[in-house]
Each structure stands twice: as C-alpha cells, then as structure tokens.
Chains A and B, each alone.
Chain A
Amino acid sequence: MSDVTSAGTDEKPLVKRVWSSHLTRFALTRFLQAIPVLVGVTLITFGMMNLLPGGSAVALAGDNPTPQVIALLNRELGLNKPFFERYWDWLSQVLSGHLGSSMLTREPIAGSLGGKLPVTIELIVLALIVSLGLAIPVAVLSAHRPNGVVDRLSAVVSMIGVSMPQFVTGLLLILVFAVHIRVLPATGFASISAGPWTNLRTMILPVATLSFGLFSIYSRLLRGDLRDEMLGEDYITVAKSKGCSEWRVLLNHALRNAGFNLLTLVGLNVGTLLGGTVIVESIFALPGVGQDLIGSITSRDQTTVEAIVLILATTVVVANFLTDLLYSVLDPRIRYGREPS
C-alpha cells in the first residue's frame, strides 16, 4: 500500500498520521481484543446449547417422534457432524455476512430479528433516558442538601429499587396501572407507526420496570461522588473561594468530574441492562430480541440463539468501547495508548 500524502510537503504521510493517532491505535487495539471475546462467547454458547439434552431434532419431531425421524432431522440440520465442524460452519457463515436460518422455521434469522431489534433498542434507550434523566437531578438535589427531604426520600426509593426484582416490579405496576386503575395496557406492543402516543403507552410500564433499578443505582452512586467532590477536592475549594455559588460549583465543576464514575457504570451496565430486557419483554409480551431468545432456547433453536448472543455480545463490546472513547471527549487529559507523563 502506498502512502497518501497531503498537500504540505513537510507533513507526515496520511497513513502514518492516522496510525500515530492514539485514538486510532486505541480503536484498533480494542477491535482486535473484541475478536477473541466474541469467538469465546459464541463458542461457549454453542457448547452450552449442545450440552442441553433434547436438541433441535427432538423439538422439531413433535409429540410422536421415532428414532428414524430424529436421525433424519439430525442429518438435515447437520447436527450429526462433529462439534467443532458445526461451529466452524456457523462461524464461516457469520464471517461471510449471514446469520443463517432458524432451525425451526427455516427462515433467515436476519429478517426475523430485523423486526425485533427496534423494540429492544427502544426499550433500552427509553430506560436509559428515564433512569439518567431522573437520577442526575435527584442526585444533584440530594448532594446539595444531604439528609434533606429529597436525599432521604431518594435513599428509601433507591433501596426499594435495588432490592426489588424486576419481575415483581413489573407485575406490581401491571396490577396497579392496568388492572386496577386501567390507564395503561397490561401487555402488548404498538409500534411507532401506530402513533407516538400509542407506542409510548405500551412502553411506559416496561420502561418504568427497567429503569427503576437503574435509577436507584445511578442516583445513589452519583450522589455519593458529588459529595466526595464537594467535600474533598481542592478545585472545589478554589471555586468557592473565588465566590462561585454552591449551585454553580455543584453543576459546573463537581458534576462534570463525578460524572466519570456514572459513565463507567452506565457503560459496564449495558450487559445487565440487556439481561433485564429479556425479563421485561417476557412480562409485558414485548416482541423484542429478549423474548425471542427465551423462545429459541426453549425450542433448542441453536442458530437463532447463537445469532442473538452474537448481537448482544457485540453490543456490550461496542458499548464498553464507546464508554472509553467518551472519557477522552469529556476529559482531554485522557489519551489512550499514551504513557502518562
């Protein structure tokens, strides 16, 4: 490959400049690190699906299976091949850009997941918006007046949010808002094309269920960090000594620095969040990827399980990468790949 040079003769070639960019090297390194992670996750999933007795052929054979039918289906599905040969077949297919076909419906998985991903993404995005949108002001108010009404109330609410399983939260919300007050639907989903409000009505209870636990963790963590910053950091003392108001110090200085821990938690929490969507989608009958995953595991649809796990694992890897990347945006002192001076 020949180097492409820019107009200036004294400048470095473009490729060299790009490679010497710490961000590029960081991104490439993380990309290379992601490969064994994704291979490992899919291989473990493949192995676990194989360890489950029953198998796709038994599921497909129905209520009255004969050994001949099961053997025939195993051959048709390629399940009679050795484990690593099957895994390699699947991996090669994925590397060529195809997620394969469902073992049960024999339809392309990409097509069926295409309709389910938006539901899950909407759920996650709304849950993040709601949980962060509530957690940040509550944390700031709590930090502004420790042991005040907001602080004490948020501590109690957060304790409940952390200790209550999503399954229980979801059912309680259904009982109150769908069964007794009847202002929101108990289950079901309407897409955005049915109208934004119609869509939102179906998402209110699922989003509330998913974001309750997140809000509880985020608000307490941020509140604690804000208090640490306000009490112990020199720059806060300097800002105060310059005559900045308590609110200005809190919002302009402390919040920005305390936000790093929150950002880390949000990034690391993506995996947990995805796990939560599986439960929430089941409770509220949302036609997302999580519900599909449960159904596919139950029916031993190995190719669909693999495809979903690959998507979820990739999402977690990308989320963690973006979190790291955001660090450098929020704090210009951080440059990945550079030794600390």
Chain B
Amino acid sequence: MLMVMCAGLVAGVVPAAASSTAETTGHGALNVVGSFNFPTLDPSLATASTGSGQPFFFAIYDSLFKLGASGQTLPELATGDTVSKNGLTVTLALRKGVKFSDGTPFNSTAVKFNLQRDTANDCTCIGYLADITNIATPNPLKVVITLSQPYAPLIAALTNSSAAYIVSPSAISSEGATAFGQAPVGAGPYKVVSDNPQVVLTVARNSRYWNARAVKLASIVFTNIATTSSQFATVEAGQAQMMIAADPTSITQAKSAGAAYKLLQSSPTSWFAVQFNTTTAPFNNINAREAVEYALNPKAISTAVTGGLYTPNQSVYGSGMEDYWGTTTKNYHAYSTSQAQSLVQGLPGGKLTFSIFGLSNTAIYEETMQAMQQELSQAGITMNIVNLTHAQAIAQNESGNFQTILNSYGGFSDDGVTASTFFQSGGTFATGVNDPVLNNYVAEANGTSVASKRKADFLAMSEYINKMSYWDPIFTYSTYDIVASNVKGYAKSPLLYLDSVYFGNS
C-alpha cells in the first residue's frame, strides 16, 4: 500500500485526483508535509505527540478533550468533567457509543488502562499524572480519578498531552507493545493504513469514528521532510497541499504567491522572552533587569525580525492559553531608552554588560538577539551573544549557569504548566529566580480548579513577575501552516485538528 501511495505521490497522481474528487464528493487525499517526529505512534512511548506540529496523533486517537480557538476545553471523547470541592476527585463522563477502529468498545476500562499504562511507560505526560492515587470505573461511561493533592492542569493534560490519547487495549494485547507503535489502533477520525516511521504515514477515514459523518477526506498522507525549503517546494510543486509549522522564509514566499495559499495561524501558546538569572550579578540587581526591559522595544523587534508576524506581549502568556486575560499586564516596563539610560548610570560603574544564550543556526533567535543588541547599545548596555545548540541551551537552563537566556518556550495550553516549569524554583530547569512569593502564586493557581480564581491568580502572578522584572516578555509566537487555497474546514486553535478538513473550490 505504501508503495502504491508513494508511486501516486511521486507521479503527482494522488494530489490531482484527490482535488478533483474532493470537489464533487467531498472526499480526497490531503498531502501534508512538515518536520514530523513519529518513530513510534504509541502515544505512551512517543517523545512528541502533542502540539500543532504533530496532528496525526489526534487524527488516529481523537482526544479526551479538545482545545477551542482561545484555548478553552471542549468535550470530545469525554463529554465533561466534575471536580470535587476539595479538588481531590475528578470525574470524567465518557461519550456513549464510541468504538475503536478495530471495533472494540471505548469505555472507562480503556481509559483506566491507558492512564495506568502511561504511568508505567514513563510517558512524556507522567509529570501530569504523578498525583493520581486511584482510578475507579463505576460504570463504562464514568471514570473517577483520585488525586493526592489538588492539581488543576489535569484536564489540560487530558486535552493536550499524550495522556489525552486513548489506545485500544485489545490491540495492545494482540499486537504487542512494540508492533503497536507502527500499527496503532485508536478511536480517532482516521485509522492508520501504512506507516514508514519518520518517513511517510498514511491514514484513511475511520468509518467507525463516532462522528464519521463530519470526516470528509478519504485519507491524509503525512510526509516528513527535514528541510523547510524542500517542504515548501513540495507544496509549490503541487505534491502537497499543507505545510505544517512553516518557517518565516516560506511564509513570505507563500504570501507573495497571492491567492494560491492561505496562512493558518494557531492561537499562540509560546513566547520569546529574556530569562534573567536573578541569583547572580548583574541581574541580582532589579535595576539592571528593569534597564534591559526599558531598553527593548518588542514591537520594533517583531517588525524587524518577523515582519510583524509575532505579537508583542507584556507577559509570558499567549492568547491560546486557557486563562489568558488580555494583551496588557500591569507593572510592565514599556520601552523607554531614557529610563534605561538613567538606570544604567545608577548601576555599579555606571555600565551594564552581560551575555545572553540563544540557539545557533536558528534565524529567529539570531536575528532577535541582533535586534536586541542594537537597541540595548542605544541605552549604553552591552550584550554579548552566545550561540548554543538546542541541547546545550537545555543543559545551561538545567544547570542554571547563565546570566540571561533568550527563551522561547511554551506549547502548553494550560498556564499552570508554564508557571510550574519556568517560574517555580526547584524544578528541572533553573528558573533563575528563587522567590517564595512567586512559588506560592504557582502553588495557589495549580491548587484550585475554580476557573475565575485560577485566572486571577495567573494575572496576579504575571503582574508580580513584571514588577520584579524576572522575565522580559518580547513577543508570543504562533505556528503558521501554509495551506493550498482549495483546502477548507480546519479549525483555528493552539492545535491543528484535521477531522473536518475537505477540498473545496479555491
């Protein structure tokens, strides 16, 4: 089958036939290219199963909950959740009549099996599941999860982490865990037809899907291409209709091609910000941190680096996050070169020199740092750029051996995960901050499931971060997908859902 598909792909048969068929019947094959990562399709073992860059996991498994346009949780395989007053019991209601693509029933036993398997396999979601002490299944459509302490991000984990995907227990049993990674069975809108790991994955419409009528495509072919220029060339050549997570160069080219392509922007959950190490000089002095914040003009940097694609922001939260409160935050030190100069003069020696770590060979980092360097120099601040590989950057972040890092992180729809990862001291990454007040904000926000209180906690936390200048937010960023103009029906969200995509008229 793979060979047939490859032959079609190469000969240009699949896209052409697909498009014409789709226009008349609403079916067809969508060819998607990107830098995908699927050595295994078993979500419990996969290192990357979430985020907008890995849309095939949702296609195969669906998810317990889904993310709406602004990061809100929507029902999917689970129709709802209730949290006990003390926050220690979370009850999930499951959708009735759902079957896996192998025909076996999706029920509470399957959900329990998956959550236990995720924990046993040390899945990437294990951090979210650590507080689970018991999982009960009083009936086939109800799962009762008991926690050792309140943990609000749990529902977010069942929306946008590998724990959100439920595999067929009988398929695991019959295929064996290793084989399952290449021939997985889920309850999603599509089922796997063929899988050449890290190369090409073909999924076809799952007629047993609970909402099968909404699925309009006959199949989707995901092709992994390492270089972005080759990805866009494949789209330009008509071999593919969608490029996932396009780079700025391809975005510019797509824009210049006029009506041939559309840009699909995900709601941002990631950000670029300067992370200060407040435990050592010079940034153990708040005036030094404020000076940097005043000296930088995020709008000018975004315009210079991305042509304004990324949105200047006053916090390290994006509009794709569930508890996002808006674009402005109190205590933000807005761009003012004179204020920066004044603060620098008051620093020991009347000057400020520091180094920043950023990712090498990544244009967005290098250009952002260069733009920052220019702006800082106008305020009399010298910033030395140190380019690191991704792994080196993670290691520096883990070790805490840095003055500043141009950090771009996120991808979490839940604010609490970002907060505990980057602001709360004592985690995997050195946050550069050791402030009990900030730690308490994180604990408070993650300890409640009352939405209004969480939102208020996060806003207060962000205002406090700005007040103390622990981070200097620059801009939030979205992923942009380049889509052929005849592709319709995709949803705008922090994630990319392809269940209702179809071919229409350009």
Contacts and interface: CB of A to CB of B under 8 A. Distances in A.
A179 to B, nearest CB: 5
Find the residue from B181, B390, B391, B395 having the highest chain A CB count within 10 A: B391
Contacts of B9: 185, 188, 190
B194 interface: no
B3 interface: yes
Contacts of B198: 287, 291-292, 295
B359 to A, nearest CB: 13
A52 B392 CA distance: 7
A209 to B, nearest CB: 12
B489 interface: no
A63 B422 CA distance: 12
Interface string B4-48: 101101111000000000000000000001000101100001011
Contacts of B329: none
B134 interface: no
A58 B394 contact: yes
Nearest to A292: B198
Nearest to A64: B127
A201 B239 CA distance: 14
Find the residue from A63, A185, A202 having the highest chain B CB count within 10 A: A63
A53 B10 contact: no
A171 B229 contact: yes
Given A105-B197, A106-B45, A53 B392 contact: yes
A7 interface: no
A66 B226 contact: no
A177 B78 CA distance: 49
Contact of A300 (B4, B227, B391, B421): B391
A66 B6 contact: no
B227 A283 contact: yes
Interface string B145-174: 000000000000000011000000000000
B391 A291 contact: no
Interface in A40-75: 52-55, 58-67, 69-70, 72-73
A59 B47 contact: yes
A185 B10 contact: yes
A194 B7 contact: yes
B39 to A, nearest CB: 4
Given A187-B239, A299-B47, A70 B428 contact: yes
A129 to B, nearest CB: 21
Contacts of A328: none
B125 A62 contact: yes
B238 interface: yes
Contacts of B279: none
B196 A69 contact: no
Contact of B233 (A58, A64, A186): A186
B394 A105 contact: no
A187 B7 contact: no
B391 A178 contact: no
Contact of B230 (A70, A73, A112, A285): A285
Contacts of A323: none
Contacts of B7: 190, 194-195, 198
Interface string A277-321: 000001111010001101100011000000000000000000000
Nearest to A281: B226
A190 B3 contact: yes
Contacts of B233: 171, 174-175, 178-179, 186-187
B417 interface: yes
A193 interface: yes
Contacts of B432: none
A72 B10 contact: no
Given A115-B196, A175-B233, A187-B225, A194 B124 contact: no
B367 interface: no
A59 B50 CA distance: 14
B100 to A, nearest CB: 23
Find the residue from A60, A170, A186, A189 having the highest chain B CB count within 10 A: A186
Nearest to B9: A188
A189 B6 contact: yes
Interface in A60-95: 60-67, 69-70, 72-73, 76
B126 A69 contact: yes
B234 interface: yes
Contacts of A171: 229-230, 233
Contacts of B238: 182
A65 B230 contact: no
A159 B124 CA distance: 51
A112 to B, nearest CB: 7
Interface string B344-375: 00000000000000000000000000000000
A331 interface: no
B223 interface: yes
Nearest to B177: A106
Contacts of A287: 196, 198-200
Nearest to A190: B6
Contact of A105 (B45, B236, B392): B45
Contacts of B239: 178, 185-188
Contacts of B224: 285
A292 B40 CA distance: 14
Given A54-B390, A185-B9, A287-B199, A69 B421 contact: no
Contacts of A179: 233, 236-237
Given A185-B12, A295-B198, A105 B39 contact: yes
A228 interface: no
B421 A188 contact: no
Contacts of A291: 198-199, 226
Interface in A95-140: 102, 104-107, 112, 115
B392 A198 contact: no
Contacts of B197: 105, 112
Contacts of A190: 3, 6-7, 9-10
A37 to B, nearest CB: 28
Find the residue from A185, A282, A284, A300 having the highest chain B CB count within 10 A: A185
A198 B122 contact: no
Contacts of A58: 391, 394
Interface in B273-306: none
B149 to A, nearest CB: 15
Which 3 A/B pairs are nearest by Cβ-Cβ distance?
A: A62-B124, A53-B395, A54-B391
Interface of B: 3-4, 6-7, 9-12, 33, 37, 39-40, 45, 47-48, 50, 122-128, 130, 161-162, 178, 181, 196-200, 223-227, 229-231, 233-234, 236-239, 389-392, 394-396, 411-412, 417, 421, 427-428
30 contacts: A53-B389, A53-B395, A53-B396, A55-B391, A62-B123, A62-B162, A63-B48, A63-B411, A65-B124, A66-B427, A66-B428, A67-B428, A72-B122, A171-B230, A174-B233, A178-B237, A178-B239, A182-B12, A187-B230, A189-B199, A194-B7, A195-B7, A282-B230, A285-B199, A285-B223, A285-B234, A287-B198, A294-B226, A295-B226, A299-B47
Given A66-B126, A188-B234, A190-B9, 14 more contacts: A53-B391, A53-B394, A54-B394, A58-B394, A63-B48, A65-B428, A104-B39, A107-B178, A187-B225, A188-B10, A194-B4, A198-B10, A285-B234, A295-B39
